[in-house]
Each structure stands twice: as structure tokens, then as C-alpha cells.
Structure 1
Amino acid sequence: MEEFLRQYGPIGIFLGAGFEGQTAVIVGGLLARQHILGLWMVLASATAGSWLVDQLLFVAGRRFRTHRWVARATKQAAFARALRFIEKYPISYTLAFRFIYGLRVASPIAIGVSQVPTWRFTVLNILGAMIWGTAFTMAGFIFGEAVHNVFGHGHHAGRWTLIAAGGLILVVLVVWAVRYLLGRRKRAAEALVGDA
């Protein structure tokens, strides 16, 4: 992964963010810390790659919602869970789905099948991609700083460490909030079943 990103730079980060996920973005952050890639270039490529692929999946879900492949996908358990949560928390879910393991690809398609307006998804998708790209780029950047300091070549990270720490805190809060909401919904469903 590192060699691929060294060779292809922004294109590698863009494709990695869109198709592979956070590993390419974290490695991009590491390479930015080593001054092999520009930090802003990594942030922009990660955000753009994540945004574009998820936007295309949303459009596919919206445009082909009656197609047999999409109809088949709606019957999968992960898709059904995503759709139920989208109906109840459309804004929160659209901002957070990138951080939910196992629902990354199904989520934008499910949002496309749902009643969420295209303009709202587009705005929230841009914002979510920026949060996700920044969080994982800065996670790689901090890790690179830590490795650099451990081996005695680093300098005080200063404002970048603060920015990265803020990004990691944001990621932790988003993951916690999503898990809390999913757990709350599950407990409410179990209570309804128990009362029946």
C-alpha cells in the first residue's frame, strides 16, 4: 500500500479512499508526516475519493431502486438494518455511516432507496467525507509523529498534534453516538417484542 501511494500520490489516495477504505488514508497521513506527500493533498484526495464513490452508490440506489440487484440487496440483513436506522435518523446516519463497520457500501445505496432528498444527501455526504478524511488522515499523521519521536528524529508536533487529537476525539464521539443510538433502538425493539 505504501509503495503504491508513494508512486501514485493523490490518485492512489483518491482510489484507496473510495474503494479500499481507511487504510489508504491512514498510510497517506503517515506519508504526509514524512513529507513524502503534502498533507492538504492527502486530505483533499481522501475527501474527494470518499465523497465521489458514496455519491455514485447513492445515485445507483436512487436510480435503480426497482432493479433486481438493488431489490436483492434490500433483502440482506445489513441493508435492512441500515434502512431502518436511516428512516429514524437520516441526518445522523448519513454523517456517520463511513465509521460503521460492515455498512459502508450498503449505506449510500440504502439512503438512495430511502426518502432522503438528493440535495440533503449531497450536502451531508460532502460534510461526512470531510470529517472521515480528516480523522483518518490525521490519525496516520499522529502515528507518524509518534514513530518519528520514538526514533529520536521528531520535533514538537504543535498545532498539528492538536488538530489530529481533535479529529480522533471527533471520530470516537461519532462512533460512540452511533453505537449508543443503535443500542437504544435495539433495546426499544426488544421491549416491544417483550410486551407483545
Structure 2
Amino acid sequence: MPAGFFGGTDVPMLDSLLSYSDSPYWLVLIVIISTFMLEDLAIIGAALLAASGKMMPELAFAATCVGMLIGDTALYLLGRLAHRWPWLAHHCRHPLIDRQVRPLQQAPWHQLALIRCMPGLRTFGYIACGVARVPGWTFTVANVISILLWAAGLFGVAFWLGQAYAEQLQAWLWWLLPVAVVLFFLGQKRLRARLEAEA
């Protein structure tokens, strides 16, 4: 057994595991996966990583856009699959999906732009795109444009704030992040309940 395997100072495996946190590829993967859960917070987080020098700004922005595109496309395909799978079609019967189907059929470009501006409701909106049979080419082009515009605006503001207030943000980040997540969930829950009541 090599010296230092237990309790020694030579622990190359541990060092390599710890070094993953500073690897740009590891950070890219984290950013992409985080967009599947909290899209807007993922954009802000990626911008702050770029502002702190952990990632190149171009790489951080590209990772958020790729993650958003993958997540949105998966939801769209889920909606399309509902036409072939009765069990899935039954579970896609939701007021927030049903109310968007007709507008998507009548004016898909306009409705897709609105969906991008509705955090917390995008999951239902992109499933509705598939249910409404929005053409794949129309969905992809409109979605890419909306992703680039939305992410660029949010990323740019967060990146600028991250550079301008780097020291203050570093000191308060671990306190602000949990508060932001809780407020985000409460806000989305309230908005969703109101829209479901209206539907």
C-alpha cells in the first residue's frame, strides 16, 4: 500500500477531486445543470462566477444559453410526446398548459416571447408548445432568439454588478443566495396559484 494512503500528506486522489471545483469544465457542467432548476438564478450565478474570474465571461454566457436551450427543447419534446402517449397526455392536462395552447396555435412567436418573460411558468409554457404542435423550426428559432436576448440582459447586469461590488458580494453571497432562492420559490408559488385560479 502506498505511503500516505491513510493519514499521510500524499493524497493525490483527494487533491484531484478538490481541484474539480476550479476546473472550467466542471463549472460549465454545474451552470448547465443549474439552468434546468432555477434558470434566472443560474444566469446570475454564472455572471458572478465570470465577474470573480472563475470562468471566462464568454464561456459562462455560452453555458447558460446551452443549458436553457437543452431544458426548453426537452420540455417541448415532452409536449409533442403527449400526443403519442395517453398516460403522458393525461398528466399534461393542466390549466396553465391548456390556457396557452390556443394562443400558441394562433400567434406562436408572440406567445413564445411572453413565455420567456414568465419565470416559474416556463415549464408549463414549453410543454404547451409541444401540445399545441408548434412547428419545431419555429419553436427553435424563436426560442434561441428569446434565450439570447433574455440571458444577455440578465447576465450583463449581474456581471456589471459583480465587478462593481465584488468585495461586498463575496462577503454577503452565502447569506444572500439562500434568501434569494426562498423568495424566488415563494414568488413563483404565489404567481402560479393566482394564474391557476384565473384559469
TM over 0.5: yes
- What TM-score bracket applies, with the shorter chain setting the length? 0.5 to 0.7
Computed over aligned residues only, the root mean square deviation of the Cα atoms, in angstroms, reads 2.7
Counterparts of residues 15-34 of structure 1 (less than 5 Å): 15-34=33-52
Structure showing greater Rg:
2
Q: Deviations over 1:36-83 (max 9, x none)?
A: 211101110010100011112111211332423442344322112222
Tell me whether 37-46 or 125-134 shows the greater mean CA deviation: 125-134
Q: Runs ≥4 in structure 1, deviation > 4 angstroms?
A: 4-7
Question: Normalising by the residue count of structure 2, what TM-score does the alignment of the two structures yield?
Answer: 0.65
Mark the runs of 5 or more structure 1 residues left unpaired by the alignment.
Answer: 152-185, 187-196
User: 56, 59, 74: which one pairs with 1:38?
Assistant: 56
Over 3 Å counting, the alpha-carbon distance change for 1:146 and 1:39 in structure 2 is same
Check if 1:76 corresponds to 2:94: yes
Alignment correspondent of 2:182: none
- 2:193 paired residue number: none
Asked if structure 2 preserves the Cα contact closer than 8 Å seen for 1:79 and 1:110, the reply is yes
Matched, 1:55 2:68: no
Shift of 1:30: 1.1
**Could you say which residue in structure 1 is the equivalent of 2:134?**
116
Counterpart of 1:35 in 2: which secondary structure?
coil
Instruction: Show the counterpart of 1:194.
Output: none
Using the size of structure 1 for normalisation, the TM-score is: 0.66
The percent of aligned pairs where both chains have the same amino acid is 23
What is the SS of the residue equivalent to 2:120?
Answer: coil
Matched-pair contact (CA < 8 Å) for 1:73–1:79: no
